[in-house]
Structure 1
Amino acid sequence: MTKILISIVGPTAIGKTALSIKLAQHFNTEIISADSRQFFKEMTVGTAVPSTEELNTTKHHFIQHISIKDNYSVGDFERDAISKIESIHKNNDIAIMVGGSGLYVKAVTKGLDHFPDVDKHIRTELNKRLINEGIETLQKQLKSLDFKAYQSIAIDNPQRIIRALEVCIGSGQPYSSFLTKTEKTRPFKVVTIGLSAVRSIIYDRINQRVDIMVNEGLIEEAKELLPNKHLNALNTVGYKELFNYFEGEWTLDFAISEIKKNTRRFAKRQLTWFKKDETIQWFDYTTDINNIINYLEKQS
């Protein structure tokens, strides 16, 4: 039989984890996480890491496997995930990958574009500027150097901006000029399914999830991580807003409202990214699991 990777995508809080576990149990296989925020062992509540009960139902990979202090790139994940998928395929024709980090999903399913090597000092200087001048200055520079990249990448993500800028500066060419869209050949067939809902439902689910996170200890978790706020891993929704609260810049209520707002914006960007992929088969989040299984079994 053909070896298959089932990739489950969609906006945050839509139910991807629950679906992946049901499918893994049905196909008796293992799950690879492509949610880059869930890689870090110090971040649990704010990244919606699967519960201990969920993790015990089936074997998961790339959940809290590194530290916020580790350097771990999307290229590292591509290499490690492909190796793990091939290992799973030795005993099972099907592996499952789940996550809403579009670039990490693409790295595994289609491969990354090739970028030139650039002087590492450029990134060091850009990180210093991020701390000293703020993200807006870097956003303006990217807009000037590569308007196409400025329009297409997540411009509120400092790692994405710095990556694009270092290529622009180091190569003297636009970052976007290296986006060849050439897909790599994989030793397995990729079947991608997406979960979605009308926007009002997605936003309601996000707001409810944030409230649950707060009740489950998000504020306490963020407070413990405050000394590490300078790390890229923590410049992310759910933590950076609370850091502003701890430092007296915002009230707690306002910080929580900003978490909800920024998470909703993140979900909108996720949908924009995934909707560009015409190979994705979309299902409403309420779809009966048997209908999804029937679709998947016809793809083998």
Structure 2
Amino acid sequence: MTNKTLLCIVGPTAIGKTALSIAFAKAYNTAIISSDSRQFYKEMTIGTAVPEKEELDAATHYFIQDRSIFDDYSVGDFERDVIQLLPKLFTQNDVVVMVGGSALYEKAVTYGLDDLPDVPHEIQQEIKAEFENKGISWLQEEVQKNDAEYFETVDIHNSHRLIRAIGIFRVSGKKMNELRTGKAQKRNFNIVKIGLTAEREELYERINKRVDIMIDRGLEQEARELFPHKNLNALQTVGYKEFFDYFENSYDYDEAVRLIKRNTRRFAKRQLTWYRKDESVKWFHYKTRHTEIVQRVSKKLMD
């Protein structure tokens, strides 16, 4: 039985995962792996809520702004890189912390990826052509029509993810959950999952405040600088795409901010839908003192 443990901190956006991860990193004098798939990119700082300098200085972080939006970096690449990194980190400490709200990336490390069918290039191109002609709302409608369960958890603003789902359905005629094997990859470390949650209205208030802070810090200017590259997959992200549409005169500034808040709330709801299906997550209210959570988890690790 291994004594090495990957401690995963999960939950919806704006709930306070970063602060809790640092509390654990300090308690165990260990490193933090970010599984936030948008914080990988060095060009995206404000809109992805990259940890502050003092937070980054409080512990060694991995997978924070170490990629470019022009890099082709998949969830499979992330799984490979983390699994290769962990043995090195476990030589330094028995516990490593992983934190982030990108559920598929966390699942890839803790559970493994399902072996989904390949989609022929010509089918991918057909779907992409329809997307370019009809827009992302068409992708969303196609996925919702063919795989309503997957639609409840997927990031509906991630065109790459939606195109993939449509392609898999066209090739196999099967929904995502029908193709998932339910067999976890064997990992040579223990996995403990800690989730933070809040009452819906409290969470929505925190999200709205976070968006206001991002606006004050210059999210609009950051989006303007990235606007020439708006079709890159990395930029199909809440907080950027709404401003891109504003720059194209689809609506006014106030509407852009309103949509960022609304779409972030919807994203948080999808995150919770995903994580609540995972019975291995031990949930704590976000107001629970970090010292109490650390103590309770430490007791569990020693049992």
How many corresponding residue pairs? 300
Corresponding residue SS for 1:195: strand
Deviation (angstroms), 1:172: 4.8
Corresponding residue SS for 1:299: helix
Are 1:39 and 1:62, in contact at CA under 8 Å, matched by a contact in 2?
yes
**What is the CA deviation profile of residues 40-70 of structure 1, one whole-angstrom value per residue up to 9, with x for unaligned ones?**
1110000000112211111101111111121
The aligned amino acid for 1:212 is: I
**What is the CA deviation profile of residues 118-173 of structure 1, one whole-angstrom value per residue up to 9, with x for unaligned ones?**
32343333233222211232333334544554455344432221111122233454
1:86 match:
87
Partners of 2:43 and 2:153 lie apart in 1 by: 30
Corresponding residue SS for 2:38: helix
Are 1:165 and 1:175, in contact at CA under 8 Å, matched by a contact in 2?
no
TM-score, with structure 1 as normaliser: 0.95
**What is the CA deviation profile of residues 50-100 of structure 1, one whole-angstrom value per residue up to 9, with x for unaligned ones?**
112211111101111111121111111111111122221011100000001
Q: Which moved more, 1:115-124 or 1:84-93?
A: 115-124
1:100 match:
101
1:260 match:
261
The aligned amino acid for 1:206 is: I
1:7 match:
8
Unaligned stretches of 5+ residues in structure 1? none
2:208 match:
207
1:39 match:
40
Unaligned stretches of 5+ residues in structure 2? none
CA-atom RMSD in angstroms? 1.7
Deviation (angstroms), 1:180: 1.5
Deviation (angstroms), 1:181: 1.7
Partners of 2:294 and 2:105 lie apart in 1 by: 24
1:122 match:
123
Structure 1 runs of 4+ with >6 Å offset: none
Are 1:35 and 1:99, in contact at CA under 8 Å, matched by a contact in 2?
yes
1:22 match:
23
2:132 match:
131
Deviation (angstroms), 1:246: 1.1
Residues 204, 144 of structure 1: CA spacing in aligned structure 2 closer, same or farther, 3 A cutoff? closer
**What is the CA deviation profile of residues 239-290 of structure 1, one whole-angstrom value per residue up to 9, with x for unaligned ones?**
0111111111211111001100110111111111111111111111111122
2:77 match:
76
Deviation (angstroms), 1:109: 0.9
Q: How does 1:47-86 map to 2 (within 5 A)?
A: 47-86=48-87
Corresponding residue SS for 1:39: coil
1:183 match:
184
Residues 172, 202 of structure 1: CA spacing in aligned structure 2 closer, same or farther, 3 A cutoff? closer
Are 2:158 and 2:233, in contact at CA under 8 Å, matched by a contact in 1?
no
Corresponding residue SS for 2:26: helix
Corresponding residue SS for 1:8: strand
Are 1:74 and 1:104, in contact at CA under 8 Å, matched by a contact in 2?
yes
TM-score, with structure 2 as normaliser: 0.94
Partners of 1:151 and 1:24 lie apart in 2 by: 33
Residues 145, 260 of structure 1: CA spacing in aligned structure 2 closer, same or farther, 3 A cutoff? closer
The aligned amino acid for 1:262 is: N
Corresponding residue SS for 1:115: coil
Q: Which moved more, 1:115-124 or 1:267-276?
A: 115-124
Corresponding residue SS for 1:38: coil
Residues 109, 139 of structure 1: CA spacing in aligned structure 2 closer, same or farther, 3 A cutoff? same
1:248 aligns with 2:249: yes
The aligned amino acid for 2:75 is: V
Partners of 2:152 and 2:64 lie apart in 1 by: 31
Partners of 2:295 and 2:175 lie apart in 1 by: 44
The aligned amino acid for 1:270 is: Q
Are 2:157 and 2:237, in contact at CA under 8 Å, matched by a contact in 1?
no
Deviation (angstroms), 1:117: 2.4
1:112 match:
113
